Structure 1
Amino acid sequence: MPTIAGFEDLFDRGREVGYVLMQDIEDLYEEENEVLDTGKLAIVRQFLESSNIDLLDSESEILRPDDEVEATERADADGGSIQADPVWQYLKDIHDIPLLTAAQEVDLAQRIESGDETARQQFTLSNLRLVVSIAKRYVGRGLSLIDLIQEGNIGLMRAVQKFDWRRGYKFSTYATWWIRQAITRAIADKGRTIRLPVHVSEALTKLNGVQQRLTQELGREPTDEEVADELGLDVVRIRETRLASRLPSSIDQPMGDDEDASVGDFVMDRTEPGPEGVTHERMLRQEAERTLETVLNEREKMVLEMRYGLGDREVFALEKIGEKLNLTRERVRQIEAQALRKLRDPEISRKLREYLTA
């Protein structure tokens, strides 16, 4: 990393948005009274490239023509027209909106403070390309690019509302935080079938960023130990965080090209008995029913079945059983007690216990 003071902060911002402006590099060297010669610039370029950060001459390059080409190719691949692709149409709509100079930002911010809605709209529209550049870095996290852009635009509007021009910093630097926050929270809330807590989602974002940077620096995938050391966490925590990032799969998802077969057809349900268990349970039930029929009379058998839900019957209170059998509650209780006394015979109890504990 270049050793000039302030570069680390500039580098951190560049990692967040994916680019660093040439003007910011020049201003940094000028503030430190150092000459940005060809050799130093080459070192800066090489370091940024190794970290997958673009060095742009101006913010007008944030939305590159390549974005339109990619959207066009995607529309063609999907069999639709260019105009049918909402991302392509959006990029086309915002491409010609002029960016603001520092003086224009201050002027518009002052007018916004006075309640000028036209100024607020112009300020917002002029920074839509910044949202696109940030949103593109979150593709593949559960939301489509157009949804990421929409969420980022909400963060942009919040930044426009809260921007304090008196502090002297560029709006893009300030807005980046609000845009990222809006996008990451939307991913946490809407990007997954099972919602992750915000702190877990933020930990994943940080982990992925460190992993990408170490991959660039080392020229290979970093080990869990190296990532843990960089983040100051233990390896177990790193692995648990990675597990949380796994997306759930539907058990009804088709298997291969066979639309009639799903994942569920090949997953064993351990809560249900297998064929042998079902057969064993049926035999025990039949044995228990034969035992009851042998020991009890018909009325006693019916009372116990309704009282305890035997034979898949519904469980009833004494009053309900009495209504069904046209007996008083007390008489039903007496029949129940009489039947239970008969079943307390050791041999009969053993047979019934096998059924009840199966």
Structure 2
Amino acid sequence: MSEDLESLGFSLVEEDQADKADTEEEVAQEVVEKAVKKPAKGKKKSKKADDYDTHSDDAIKHYLREIQRTTLLTAEEERELARRISQGDMGARDKMIESNLRLVVKIAKRYMNRGLPFLDLIEEGNMGLIKAVERFKLSKGCRFSTYATWWIRQSIERALVNQSRTIRLPVHVSDDINKLSKISRELVHSLNREPQVEEVAEAMGVDVSYVRRLMTLLKKTYSIEHPMGENSDYSLIDTIEDSNTINPSTLIEGLDKYAHINQWLEGLSESEREILTLRFGLDDRDPQTLDTIGRRFNVTRERIRQIEAKSLEKLRRIMEETENGADETE
């Protein structure tokens, strides 16, 4: 199994192996250096700024020391906790969360200096971890860290987009935009395609014209071409749902079969597998933009988008066939 995953570009470093590479001292040093920026040459920090950085430094070190005391779980302990969680054991739930807080730190480090303080990134990642614990099932057949990584990254990335709004919206409008996004995702899952504006309007109980205004406003509230970090080609436009393609997050989340992604990818061509792996970070790296992948394959951004859409549709059919085959054998 591990050889199959590695051939598809997945990172199979287990959590305990990663922990050996990231000791408390190494992590603390790297995080503090990145999180607490030094003043430009020739400039001095104000006392207030210096006090703030010192407080941030101390808070990060304290948190890292606290989570370092928690022992990592073996595969057998993981399975036992998952079984108890499925039976409603809240103590087991808390244990699973606490034992994976270091995974959140490891992932959060990749998103530093993109607009949110490091401790905020950790908080958002922890919310994703909690969702993963609540949704994880033994039947998935994989280590929990593999499953949780997707949820942690999704939670952090959504937070980065939300805090990057360039126009502040009234509360009721912001609520309607969130409702629009939620209903759109639900319709994608139920219809197995992107919903029409009229279908979204009916589900929301509002006029079509209002939905169109919300969609326009949603696009205008983000600096969509602005890079999400220094020396980064990962822009906000690449985190906003494309109305012309299947949302891979919704697809994977809705079918709830993340653990078998390597098996499904085997049904794609080599180039299709590589493009999806790069596009959505299936190798446990940051997702790549259409432009970046296009340059790698020496084709246009639009061509990569077309291959992506075709590959996702093929992947959806493979998932459905696998699911139907499993139902027939039961």
Q: TM-score, normalised by structure 2?
A: 0.46
**Rg larger in structure:** 1
Calculate the TM-score normalised by the size of structure 1: 0.43
**Higher RCO (C-alpha 8 Å, min separation 6):** 2
